[in-house]
Amino acid sequence: MRILSLAGRRLAASIPTLFLILIGVFLLLQFAPGDTVDAMMAQMGGGDAATARELRKFYGLDLSIPMQLGNYLWRLIRLDLGFSSIYGKPVATVILERLPPTILLMTASLSFAFFFGLLLGVIAARGVNKWPDTLISTLGLVFYATPSFWFGLMAIVVFSIYLQWLPAGGFEDIGAVQTGFGRTIDIALHLILPTLTLGLIFLAIYLRIMRASMLEVLNLDFVRTARAKGLDETRVVVKHVLRNALLPMVTLIGLQAGTMLGGSVVVESVFSLPGLGRLAYESVVQRDLNTLLGIVFVSALLVILVNFLVDLLYARLDPRIQAEA
Amino acid sequence: MTRLEMTRRTALLTSAAIAANVANPLRAFAQETPRKGGVFNVHYGAEQRQLNPSIQASTGVYIIGGKIQEALVDLDANGQPVGVLAESWESTPDGKTITFKLRKGVTWHDGKPFTSADVQFTAMNMWKKILNYGSTLQLFLTAVETPDAQTAIFKYERPMPLGLLLRALPDLGYISAKHLYEGSSDIRQNPTNLAPVGTGPFKFVKYERGQYIIAERNENYWRPNAPYLDRIVWKVVTDRAAAAAQMEAGDIQYSPFTGLTISDTARLSKDKRFIVSTKGNEGNARTNTIEFNFRRKELADIRVRRAIAHAINVPFFIENFLGDFAKLGTGPIPSVSTDFYPGPDTPQYPYDKKKAAALLDEAGFKPGAGGTRFSLRLLPAPWGEDISLWATFIQQSLGEVGIPVEIVRNDGGGFLKQVYDDHAFDLSTGWHQYRNDPAVSTTVWYRSGQPKGAPWTNQWDWKNDAIDKVIDDAATEIDPVKRKALYATFVKEANTELPVWMPIEQIFVTVITAKARNHSNTPRWGSSSWHDLWLSA
């Protein structure tokens, strides 16, 4: 249980960081010219000064910046994320509505990238400098270098417009009201293209890391020992090498889960998915400070949670970590 | 895959039908009888904060709220006011009392009857207090009297030209239900704004933020046999290229108000499944601007402003960047405004680089080291691809006459704040929206005394007594002929003084499925109620 207390300590240490991040974002947004009322005027196509003044009062923008920040932090301590000016709803509700598509997309593409990255990485390492390695590494580079919006649009052109196999966008079919299993299938169909688009880039990273990590471990002494005691190659790779080579991959998952939880503005926009990334982008453009800070807060919480789990997973994969702690 | 075959077959049939239409358009349409049913999917690019057109005048609200709620009047195919919730109207000779007779037997979607009390409540509490442009239009509205349920009498402190009111009301005259708003502490935060209830041909069903909005046929609509469509679905697609792809995949049938990129629009205009046109948007004309900040001493010199206008080859820009959907503008009142357009015989500034250089020399700004006369900061508005291209074109054109230009890009909120509140610009460029009558949203660009921070108004630190007088006289002139003459004088003066230059005229572009019938048949069709729209099989 020492690992648990270690992870718990790290959890406690992240709370001040969280507050610093929130204050930083708050101040950063003050540097952006214009506030949410200006953004609203831009959207409406005009309005008079009296309306603007009244709206500023309504949103609490007539207070000084330290007062606004103080109010925000005081609300946060009471676990109140505030009221969203663009949605006219509590920020917590807005974020909860957007969380499921983001988590679905993120889990799907991370799993896809992790699984195939692992597989391709192992294959490439086993046949290092032979044609499978060259092919896989080249493909990885191509995926990594291709911008995701282009990938997404090309996927729509091929699979939705020409082949008409998959829907071109959206989270689910609006025409037919579906429930239960039918709806699950429908959502899954809508998520195939975005998952591939988002996953391919991460796949490239995972397979490079896996390949390098495998190559390193394959040359270690204990692998020679395993071979010397007569184990067949599959057992050596699966039982001895893979487990040790997985550590960097787990680290990477912890890091990338954070990036992906913030949502992917590009993929969500191209496929018209109602995720956190688009919400965050819109909040910045609309200067909806409460919503933006809420998203930062929730993403940060999720990142802390994921890192906590990664800490636990380390100990499971490599018992030495627990012992040294 | 049955879906695949179905779609391809229907697509083939459609293109065959179009080929027939092209060969003999009149006969093809005459033979068709309107078909009931069908779902119309609409591209919705930018979500608004609410959907009630009585409190927000913008196309982003009309495209949805305009099908659910109705206005007192709308524009007919010839751009003339036609009654919707109002059946008739008359003005007293002094222009201070305007009486509307309201339609009988109209009910709200929740079953309650529509009466003059709704008109009174909406006018006094929404148009006059909250609605952008409405609050200016109704500034001198003192009361709305309701002698009976079908009569609403508007009382004005100063004369209100009937023509101005009738041309403004299609946009600024949407009615909300009194019983849903009365007593609520803040009309802006009333939940009805996000689940609107109206008298229109379509009833609100559902709004899933970030995804879609659904409305369905109102079975109790007051027009007989209308509407034809079963439902309308607005799909939120923020990425323009993705929206074009969804149109091609058949998921979206209509993209309003120049919702696609210039290149996709050009591509789809060659596709027989779609109709690409500016028709039906004549009531949403706009001009591209160059706004001059008079706080810069160079720009306060009229010779410099004229030189800048002469230095830019506008026809070249239109031909090479905007194509068929834009034309050379001649001032603040665009040529589609048949009631007020004064013709092109006002001061114009054709491309003439030599003249521009001569004017700059004459103003005392001779080229210094490296050929530079002085440098300027240009703030382009972030809406629309054309503005971005136009800003770059201005930069390159002025560079050639020795005025290096730095382009400072902002997002929407930032742009409005820096230009109209902080006045931190030398030149800025965006759109001036013309709303059928110059008094609605055009003269505020020129009238002095605008409150600081009010977007799209005269914030140039420029004042001209003659223009101020013409604007004020025209706003209360009851005689339509005299009003037109006053606005002709206004355009002449505006083009002479050039505080803002409006050299390009544009109308929004519509991309719509070729199966749609009765579409684009009024000057503000995208905003209108679509009660007669139907889809052929």
DSSP string, B22-72: HHSHHHHHHH-------EEEEEE-S--S---TTT--SHHHHHHHHHHS-BS
- Contact at CB, B1 and A164, closer than 8 angstroms: yes
Q: Which residue does chain A place closest to B5, by CA atoms?
A: A164
3-class secondary structure per residue, chain A: CHHHHHHHHHHHHHHHHHHHHHHHHHHHHHHCCCCHHHHHHHHHCCCCHHHHHHHHHHCCCCCCHHHHHHHHHHHHHCCCCCECCCCCCEHHHHHHHHHHHHHHHHHHHHHHHHHHHHHHHHHHHHCCCCHHHHHHHHHHHHHHHCCHHHHHHHHHHHHHHHCCCCCCCCCCCCCCCCCHHHHHHHHHHHHHHHHHHHHHHHHHHHHHHHHHHHHHHHCCHHHHHHHHCCCCHHHHHHHHHHHHHHHHHHHHHHHHHHHHHCCCHHHHHHCCCCCHHHHHHHHHHCCCHHHHHHHHHHHHHHHHHHHHHHHHHHHHHCHHHHHHC
A91 touches A81 (CB < 8 A)? yes
Look at residue B119 and give its three-state secondary structure: helix
Q: Which of A42, A44, A165 lies nearest to residue B413, judging by beta carbons?
A: A42
Considering only the beta carbons, identify the residue of A42, A48, A156 that sits closest to B416. Answer: A42
Comparing A287 with B51, which gets the higher pLDDT? B51
CA distances from B430 to B286, B389, B440, B504 (A): 10, 11, 18, 11
Residue B246 touches chain A, beta carbons under 8 Å? yes
Query: What chain A residue is nearest to B231 in terms of C-alpha separation?
Result: A175
Interface probe for A, chosen from B4, B49, B214 (most Cβ of A below 10 Å), is: B49
What pLDDT is recorded for position A47?
65
d(CA B89, CA B71): 14
Residue of A nearest to B249 (CA): A161
Q: Which of A257, A254, A263, A256 is nearest to A308 (CA)?
A: A254
Check CB contact under 8 Å for A87 and B209: yes
Enclosing H/E stretch for B136: helix B134-137
* Cα–Cα distance, B463 to A251 (Å, whole number): 65
Query: Do A272 and B433 lie within an 8 Å CB cutoff?
Result: no
Of residues B259 and A319, more confidently modeled: B259
**Number of inter-chain CB pairs under 8 A, A vs B:** 181
CA B62 – CA B80 distance, rounded (Å): 19
Instruction: Quote the pLDDT of residue A128.
Output: 81
Kindly report the nearest CA distance between residue B79 and chain A, in angstroms.
Answer: 22
Are the beta carbons of B235 and A156 separated by less than 8 Å? no
In chain B, positions 376-405, which contact chain A (CB-CB < 8 Å)?
A: 383
Q: What is the pTM of this model?
A: 0.86
Does B249 touch chain A if contact means CB atoms closer than 8 Å? yes
Nearest CA to B262 out of B321, B195, B175, B307 is that of B321
Residues 6+ apart with CB under 8 A from B406: B375, B376, B377, B378
Mutation target vs A (from B10, B233, B416; most A CBs, 10 A cutoff): B416
Q: Across the interface, do B235 and A287 touch by the CB < 8 Å criterion?
A: no
If you measure CA to CA, which chain A residue comes closest to B409? Answer: A33
pLDDT given for residue B483 in this prediction: 94
**Which of A34, A43, A279 is facing B60, going by the closest CB pair?**
A43
| Shortest distance, CA A36 to any CA of chain B (angstroms) | 7
Compare all CA atoms of chain B with the CA of A156 and give the residue at the minimum distance: B245
Q: What radius of gyration do chain A's Cα atoms show?
A: 24
CA separation for the pair A131, B488 (Å, rounded): 77
Residues of B in contact with A287 (CB under 8 A): 413
Contact B235 A272 (CB under 8 A): yes
**Chain A residue closest to B232 (CA)?**
A175
Residues from chain A that touch B422, judged by Cβ atoms under 8 A, are 33
By C-alpha distance, the chain B residue nearest A40 is: B413
B412 neighbourhood in chain A, CB within 8 Å:
34, 38-39, 42-43, 285
Q: What is the pLDDT of residue B166?
A: 95
Chain A neighbors of B130, CB-CB under 8 A? 51
CA distance B327 to B319: 9
Cα dist. B509→B280, B382, B383, B393 in Å? 9, 18, 15, 22
Q: Which residues contact B305 (CB under 8 A, 6 or more apart)?
A: B292, B299, B498, B499, B501
| Percentage helix, strand, coil for chain B under 3-state DSSP, each rounded to 5 | 35, 20, 45
The answer to whether the Cβ–Cβ distance between A164 and B417 falls below 8 Å is no
Contact A274 B209 (CB under 8 A): yes
CA distance A1 to A136: 41
Half-sphere exposure of A78 (CA within 13 A, CB side): 7
Q: If you measure CA to CA, which chain A residue comes closest to B441?
A: A46
- Residues from chain A that touch B455, judged by Cβ atoms under 8 A, are 38, 41-42, 46-47
Which are the contacts of B289, defined by CB distance < 8 A and separation ≥ 6?
A: B428, B429, B430, B431, B432, B500, B501, B502
Residues in CB range of A258: below 8 A, 6 or more apart: A299, A302, A303, A306
Greater pLDDT, A178 or B98:
B98
Interchain CB distance below 8 Å, A286 and B39:
no
Nearest C-alpha neighbor of B357 from the set B392, B394, B403, B316: B403
Angle between helices A289-317 and A276-285 (to 10 degrees): 150
B 98-157: CB under 8 A from A: 130, 132-133, 135-136
Contacts of residue A67, Cβ cutoff 8 Å, sequence gap at least 6: none
Residues of A in Cβ contact (< 8 Å) with B50? 88
User: Are A44 and B415 within 8 A, CB to CB?
Assistant: no
Closest chain A residue to the Cα of B411, Cα to Cα: A285
CB contact under 8 A, A168 and B242: yes
pLDDT of res. B30: 52
Q: Can you tell me the distance from the alpha carbon of B379 to that of B384, in angstroms, rounded to the nearest whole number?
A: 14
pLDDT tens across A106-140, in order? Answer: 889 889 999 999 999 988 988 888 898 899 989 88
Yes or no, beta carbons of A45 and B412 under 8 Å apart: no
The answer, yes or no, to whether residue A224 has pLDDT greater than 60, is: yes
Beta carbons of A170 and B235 less than 8 Å apart: yes
pLDDT at A45: 65
The two tokens of residue A33 are: 């010219």
Smallest Cα distance from B502 to chain A, Å: 18
Query: Radius of gyration (Cα) for chain B, nearest Å?
Result: 24
Helix (H) or strand (E) holding B100: strand B97-102
Stretch A221-230: mean pLDDT, rounded? 88
Taking CA atoms, B95 is separated from A306, B39, B134, B141, B258, in Å, by 70, 45, 18, 12, 38
What DSSP state is assigned to residue B329?
Answer: -
* pLDDT score of B474: 93
What percentage of chain A has pLDDT greater than the value 90? 6
Q: Which residues of B touch A33 (CB under 8 A)?
A: 410, 413-414, 417-418, 422
Tell whether B344 is within 8 A of chain A (Cβ): no
Residues A60-102: tens digit of each pLDDT: 788 888 888 888 888 888 888 888 888 878 899 989 888 888 8
Whether the predicted interface score ipTM is above 0.85: no
pLDDT in tens, chain B (537 residues): 334 333 443 444 434 444 434 444 444 455 688 999 999 999 999 888 889 999 988 889 999 999 999 999 999 998 899 999 999 999 999 999 999 999 999 999 999 999 999 999 999 999 998 888 888 899 899 999 999 999 999 999 999 999 999 999 999 999 999 999 998 778 888 999 999 999 999 999 999 888 999 999 999 999 999 899 999 999 999 989 999 999 999 999 999 999 999 889 999 999 999 999 999 998 889 999 999 999 999 999 999 999 999 999 999 999 999 888 899 999 999 999 988 999 999 999 999 999 999 999 999 999 988 899 999 999 999 988 899 999 999 999 999 999 999 999 988 888 988 998 899 999 999 999 998 899 988 999 999 988 887 888 899 999 999 999 999 999 989 999 999 999 999 999 999 999 999 999 999 999 999 999 999 999 999 999 999 999 998
- CA gap B519, B287 in Å, rounded: 25
The DSSP 8-state label assigned to residue B259 in this structure reads -
Residue A250: both structure tokens together: 């787990």
Q: Are A36 and A59 in contact (CB under 8 A)?
A: yes
What pLDDT score was predicted for residue B24? 42
Q: In sequence order, what E strands does B485-535 have?
A: 500-507, 510-513, 516-517, 534-535
Q: CA-CA distance, B158 to A194, in Å (whole number)?
A: 59
Q: Tell me, what's the pLDDT at B293? A: 97
Phi (first) and psi of residue B462, to 5 degrees: -130, 135
Between B68 and A259, the more confident residue is: B68
**Is B374 exposed, middle or buried (CB count within 10 Å of its CB: 0-12, 13-18, 19+)?**
middle
**Are residues A58 and B186, on separate chains, in Cβ contact within 8 Å?**
yes
Contacting residues for B74 by C-beta, under 8 A, at least 6 apart: B81, B82, B84, B170, B522, B524, B528, B529
> What tokens were used for A247?
């550590």
- Name the closest residue on chain A to residue B61, using Cα atoms: A44
Contact between B304 and B380 under an 8 Å Cβ cutoff? The reply is: no
Using the predicted structure, report yes or no on whether residue A320 has a pLDDT greater than 90.
no
Q: What three-state secondary structure class fits B525?
A: helix
